[in-house]
Structure 1
Amino acid sequence: MLPQNPTAIPALEQKAAAADLSGVDAEGSFHGYASLFGIADLAGDTVMRGAFQRSIAARQPSGIRMLYQHDPAEPIGVWTEIREDGRGLFVRGRLMLDVGRAREVASLMRAGALDGLSIGFKTVRARADRQAGVRRLTEIDLWEISVVTFPMQPDARVSAVKADPNQPSSRLAARMRHAALSLNRRNPK
């Protein structure tokens, strides 16, 4: 159940996913996966398909914050699309480049120094699978998605990025091919 007072900030859990964000475009746009379904993270939690649906429907992308390192005092952009698909939680966002921290984040992304996405949430429903040693998250109240340094779920990656006019296109194309090959090897259909 979503909280009655949307301005009250509860104690949130956090889960991070690695992402190749080096190709953030000149407008600060990028996209990828903030969480993958059915894959245990380093803390032993597995997010199940459908876990985000109620929260996304209630909040919409405009109600889910883009933060830097989960710091509520560091909003850096907006999410323009957040949806579940067959793989996980797909996100598309835009850094607000007139904000100093967002310019720094864009620069760090382009250099490959910052490559993680992380969700900040409250668990609504979960069940422990003692045999597998994991907690299966079946409903999540999603509050924010952050760009972070250290990801908790290393297998989630950005699927594609727009070209930055300051980067040679062949370098970006090579990165995108490498990311796609890595994804296909890890997640065969």
Structure 2
Amino acid sequence: RCLGGLILGSKALIEADIQTYLRQTGPALSPFNAWVMLKSLETLPLRIRQQAQNATAVARWLKDRKDLPHVAFIGDPDHPQAEIIARQMSGPSTLIAFEVAGGKDAAYRFLNRLKLIRISNNLGDAKSLIVHPATTTHQRFTPEVRASMGVGDGLVRLSIGLEHADDLIADLRQALDG
């Protein structure tokens, strides 16, 4: 709905590189954007809790599919960093990454068959969104570098929204089985 943020850094960094920019551009949100953010923050815990519950259900369903070579979900007890995650987070993530067998062409066919989940190059919304990292966020890396990061041509990242988990699973099923 709007964009805002903060800048964190050492006093030296702020004084040397940031202060002049802020003086010239103005470091404050408009009153309307501030109000929109405050209104959104009122329901953030409720939205994240529901999205995380949905993500857990969807991730379990994806992991049960034998045709997906890899499913990664922070919240899965089998995650390689589950112990660290448990110490640092109070619940699961709203993001799931999974590999569609068959590379980029198969991933594109899957993405194009989705009806409820929308393709985007940004993740994190009340609506479920999906992205193909090899051709968006990681496109500037060579295939070898992407592979070393675990970003294969069939990898997709799914940001779970507030839709009912059964509806999301139905959409994924029809797109994968297409």
State whether TM-score is above 0.5.
no
**Structure number with larger C-alpha Rg:** 2
- Higher helix proportion (structure 1 or 2): 2
Higher fraction of strand = 1
- Could you state the TM-score of these two structures normalised by the residue count of structure 1? 0.24
